[in-house]
A and B are shown apart, each in its own frame.
Chain A
């Protein structure tokens, strides 16, 4: 049994400190329950160590969590501070509360994404046994994994370029195996479409947030109008202002829920489908290596030189390829199962939340209209 979660998180200046909490009955660990503090770079280190490990070539490596990004939020808070003089106390307090809520939402999201990564690793039959993973979970000192320096980043860049070039080359080779041929076609298309849908869902949700913000300002404006006097019309304005205040809270929640259940879902599967594609590339490369080894063996036999060496090499390649193929098949099937389950869960939750919010809105409107029409 191995259970991992992020029990706490602290945001400091420009870094986030995650408290990784583990419960385990595995003999590898000194205790049954323990916690350590980790930062984002250490998660990346762990992810990269999986990617670079040849043994794991046949697995879909759980995608790394994205870097916590509070820049936009911090900028807004700063702008708010600068503009404090130009707005009323109520407006300022209101906006501050909203920005703080936004900050909190981003914070929760980044915690969730880091947690998901760890859970995926813990759930994987092979990866959960990884030594680096155990060190990550248990070693209660800083892992001293500094961020990559410029040279290393450049190396990574070129590696990726080569991989893509490889990918293009390799994608062209038709696979003998129907299963993989289908998966290749499927994943290439799926990945592109998920990418597109993810970007567009982001834009849609942003518009939704903008509209909710406007409704907020309308509520404030109506409130000011309503407090000018105590006429009937002013009371009317106050009531409507109250309605808009409540309604826009719901609209903001809708946008936030759509973000969590739809946009984040799409983003996650964008990253996972990329990881699945990476697996296919690795398999294709192994296949190319295997085919090359075969050709080398034939040549060696023809010339009757270094035959043993060629044979060993060819066997190694064959073995590697078959090993990857076997685990890849299972991984891809699991991927599909996970994907379907995740979509189901999130879409159901999305629909239920949308319904809940629409009903809430409806009730507010009915109540308010009842009062407004009754009074007039």
Chain B
């Protein structure tokens, strides 16, 4: 299939119409599915590709194939080309037949960035890379999820917060098109637990849930009204929403029955296995697993340096993001301090204005106090922006990079299993040879059976290892694309908020200047 020509999509009228809606903040109280999905605080955000009747009518089986989860709520000109060029320069991916059901080609009809998509012809291997390219280019987001309406259930130390999880989808695998359930935080953790142990998902980058917080929750249990509790709940709600959106935008995870159950089932059995994620949190768990891998005595002989290089990159990036996160946190704190100090100063200035016995100066000072008051408001909003847009983005990706490291570790363990099986096979063969020489026919039979068994295992484990390797490669490429989109869209949002702040600031001072000049 030729690439470029297929990339030009028909213009998507629905896309344009729903754009303005994206600018509204989620109306948390509305029960209508529509409103809930229009939230612009989501990094991995709502797609506009919801109602795409044309595509749904196509072969259903293909819908559940690797639909690339291109999931930006970006404006019409999304992220594209250069990224994809890099993508293909690196990738020597051969999609194995294990996922052949999904390799049945879907006619591309992804909107937006696909139109400017120009893959580099150079490094491409015809079939497999085209498949990859197609899947990456699809804007095939047929599921939207939202997390809203945090509600405190119960009282005292047994109280918890229940969230409304709403889904809107056109996929036939769900029972209905629009539905919602109530879930609590431990349910989300439970989902992660279930997904992370599935053999079939090994190699996949499973999005990590937000961290537990004893302190935060205790405050909420006591009362949900004070500002720090409100902020905590909002922070958690937003984080849970992003978590779910990442899960459903992952093609393999979306197919998982546990994910479906989470979204659909009225009453979910209480998750009890969340101990692994208690206290220390997700990253500590990953790091423990990493250490185990590092202690492996058999060092892997990497035939393909891609994995080593990538792993190093991931580690470096995680480190850098951590540093950045620390500074952004500091900025949030200082901005909040500035906010408080400005408010206090404004009041003081107002008092001074009252004392001043020159009328014009008195009025000017009062006006200045008002300007400072408005600045406090601006600082408040800026601090929120710093936190909810920037800091949380960094936090998410630090955890996600940990998950990426986790995949690499899984691959290592698969290799180890294979190697160990090979060495066991070797021992069995040696044993057989010994038996042959010692001439013990009955034991010989058993030995031969064991050899056959282990030969099969070796083959299986080798296949597993290769499969995981391919999955990891694919996942990493997908992840990098997502990450680039995410960062770009979030940082742009952040800068736009800053821009609006400056515009308002200008208005304030322009209003004040004549007052100052009027002093006589």
A contact residues vs B (CB 8 Å cutoff) = 186, 189-190, 193-194, 196-197, 200-201, 203-204, 206-208, 210-211, 214-215, 217-218, 221-222, 224-225, 228-229, 231-233, 236-237, 240, 243, 247, 336, 339-340, 343-344, 347-348, 350-352, 354-355, 358-359, 361-362, 365-366, 368-369, 372-373, 376
Known: A221-B323, A233-B488, A243-B495. A347 touches B355 (CB 8 A): no
- Taking CB as reference atom, which chain B residue is nearest A209? B334
B509 pairs with A351, CB closer than 8 A:
yes
**What 1/0 flags go to B320-349 for Cβ under 8 Å of A?**
110110011011001101100110110011
A-B contact pairs, 23 of them (CB 8 A): A193-B348, A193-B355, A197-B351, A201-B348, A204-B341, A204-B344, A207-B337, A207-B341, A217-B330, A225-B317, A231-B83, A232-B82, A344-B519, A351-B509, A351-B516, A354-B505, A355-B510, A358-B502, A369-B492, A369-B496, A372-B488, A372-B495, A376-B78
The docked-state distance in angstroms from the alpha carbon of A215 to that of B364 is 32
The docked-state distance in angstroms from the alpha carbon of A12 to that of B335 is 37
> Among the listed B74, B320, B341, B365, which residue makes an inter-chain contact with A221, where contact means beta carbons less than 8 Å apart?
B320
Chain A residues contacting B75 (CB-CB under 8 Å) are 373
A190 pairs with B495, CB closer than 8 A:
no
A207 pairs with B338, CB closer than 8 A:
yes
Chain A residues contacting B345 (CB-CB under 8 Å) are 197, 200-201, 203-204
> Among the listed B361, B491, B492, which residue makes an inter-chain contact with A343, where contact means beta carbons less than 8 Å apart?
B361
Chain A residues contacting B338 (CB-CB under 8 Å) are 204, 207-208, 210-211
Chain A: minimal CB distance from B367 (Å): 9
Known: A197-B348, A221-B320, A348-B516. A231 touches B334 (CB 8 A): no
A200 pairs with B344, CB closer than 8 A:
yes
A210 pairs with B334, CB closer than 8 A:
yes
Chain B residues contacting A347 (CB-CB under 8 Å) are 364, 368, 516, 519
Contact count A vs B, C-beta below 8 Å: 173
- Taking CB as reference atom, which chain B residue is nearest A222? B324
B358 pairs with A340, CB closer than 8 A:
yes
Chain B residues contacting A336 (CB-CB under 8 Å) are 357-358
The docked-state distance in angstroms from the alpha carbon of A361 to that of B321 is 26
B83 pairs with A232, CB closer than 8 A:
yes
Known: A210-B337, A217-B327. A186 touches B503 (CB 8 A): no
Report if B25 contacts A (CB, 8 A): no
Of the candidates A210, A233, A247, A372, the one having the most CB atoms from chain B within 10 angstroms of its own CB is A233
Report if B484 contacts A (CB, 8 A): yes
B495 pairs with A369, CB closer than 8 A:
yes
Chain A residues contacting B503 (CB-CB under 8 Å) are 362
- Taking CB as reference atom, which chain A residue is nearest B519? A344
The docked-state distance in angstroms from the alpha carbon of A170 to that of B63 is 91
Chain B: minimal CB distance from A223 (Å): 10
The docked-state distance in angstroms from the alpha carbon of A308 to that of B352 is 50
Known: A193-B351, A224-B320, A233-B487. A354 touches B509 (CB 8 A): yes
> Among the listed B349, B356, B513, which residue makes an inter-chain contact with A351, where contact means beta carbons less than 8 Å apart?
B513
Report if B175 contacts A (CB, 8 A): no
B82 pairs with A203, CB closer than 8 A:
no
B342 pairs with A204, CB closer than 8 A:
yes
Report if B56 contacts A (CB, 8 A): no
Known: A193-B352, A344-B519, A347-B519. A211 touches B335 (CB 8 A): yes
The docked-state distance in angstroms from the alpha carbon of A350 to that of B484 is 41
A369 pairs with B499, CB closer than 8 A:
yes
The docked-state distance in angstroms from the alpha carbon of A201 to that of B346 is 9
B519 pairs with A343, CB closer than 8 A:
yes
A348 pairs with B513, CB closer than 8 A:
yes
Chain B: minimal CB distance from A262 (Å): 9
Chain A residues contacting B323 (CB-CB under 8 Å) are 221, 224
Chain A residues contacting B496 (CB-CB under 8 Å) are 369
Chain A residues contacting B519 (CB-CB under 8 Å) are 340, 343-344, 347
Report if B483 contacts A (CB, 8 A): yes
B327 pairs with A233, CB closer than 8 A:
no
A231 pairs with B509, CB closer than 8 A:
no
Report if B31 contacts A (CB, 8 A): no
- Taking CB as reference atom, which chain B residue is nearest A239? B491
Contacts beyond the supplied A197-B352, A200-B345, A362-B499: 6 A-B pairs with Cβ under 8 Å? A207-B342, A340-B358, A344-B361, A358-B506, A369-B492, A376-B78
Which of B492-520 touch A at CB < 8 Å?
A: 492, 495-496, 498-499, 502-503, 505-506, 509-510, 512-513, 516-517, 519-520
Chain B residues contacting A232 (CB-CB under 8 Å) are 79, 82-83, 86, 484
Chain B: minimal CB distance from A60 (Å): 17
The docked-state distance in angstroms from the alpha carbon of A201 to that of B338 is 11
Chain B: minimal CB distance from A87 (Å): 12
Chain B: minimal CB distance from A257 (Å): 12
Report if B273 contacts A (CB, 8 A): no
B342 pairs with A194, CB closer than 8 A:
no
Chain A residues contacting B313 (CB-CB under 8 Å) are 228-229
The docked-state distance in angstroms from the alpha carbon of A200 to that of B351 is 12
A233 pairs with B483, CB closer than 8 A:
yes
Chain A residues contacting B357 (CB-CB under 8 Å) are 186, 336
Chain B residues contacting A351 (CB-CB under 8 Å) are 509, 512-513, 516
Known: A368-B495, A372-B488. A211 touches B334 (CB 8 A): yes
The docked-state distance in angstroms from the alpha carbon of A194 to that of B353 is 10
Chain A residues contacting B491 (CB-CB under 8 Å) are 236, 240, 372
Report if B77 contacts A (CB, 8 A): yes
**What 1/0 flags go to B458-502 for Cβ under 8 Å of A?**
000000000000000000000010011001100110011011001
Chain A: minimal CB distance from B392 (Å): 15
Which 7 residue pairs spanning A and B have beta carbons closest together? A207-B338, A214-B331, A344-B519, A347-B516, A204-B341, A221-B324, A200-B345
The docked-state distance in angstroms from the alpha carbon of A193 to that of B487 is 47
The docked-state distance in angstroms from the alpha carbon of A236 to that of B79 is 12
> Among the listed B79, B328, B498, which residue makes an inter-chain contact with A376, where contact means beta carbons less than 8 Å apart?
B79
The docked-state distance in angstroms from the alpha carbon of A284 to that of B61 is 98
Chain A: minimal CB distance from B310 (Å): 12
Report if B275 contacts A (CB, 8 A): no
> Among the listed A225, A348, A365, which residue makes an inter-chain contact with B517, where contact means beta carbons less than 8 Å apart?
A348
Chain B residues contacting A228 (CB-CB under 8 Å) are 313, 316-317, 320
Which of B37-68 touch A at CB < 8 Å?
A: none
Of the candidates B317, B360, B495, the one having the most CB atoms from chain A within 10 angstroms of its own CB is B495
Chain B: minimal CB distance from A314 (Å): 35
The docked-state distance in angstroms from the alpha carbon of A343 to that of B368 is 12
Chain B: minimal CB distance from A352 (Å): 7
B516 pairs with A214, CB closer than 8 A:
no
Chain A residues contacting B330 (CB-CB under 8 Å) are 214, 217
Chain A: minimal CB distance from B311 (Å): 14
A231 pairs with B86, CB closer than 8 A:
yes
B484 pairs with A231, CB closer than 8 A:
yes
The docked-state distance in angstroms from the alpha carbon of A376 to that of B485 is 9
Chain A residues contacting B351 (CB-CB under 8 Å) are 193, 196-197
Chain A residues contacting B487 (CB-CB under 8 Å) are 233, 236-237
Chain A: minimal CB distance from B73 (Å): 13
The docked-state distance in angstroms from the alpha carbon of A373 to that of B74 is 10
Chain B residues contacting A206 (CB-CB under 8 Å) are 341
Chain B residues contacting A189 (CB-CB under 8 Å) are 355
The docked-state distance in angstroms from the alpha carbon of A229 to that of B483 is 15
The docked-state distance in angstroms from the alpha carbon of A197 to that of B361 is 15
Chain B: minimal CB distance from A215 (Å): 7
Chain B: minimal CB distance from A167 (Å): 19
Chain B: minimal CB distance from A6 (Å): 28
The docked-state distance in angstroms from the alpha carbon of A207 to that of B383 is 13
- Taking CB as reference atom, which chain A residue is nearest B321? A225
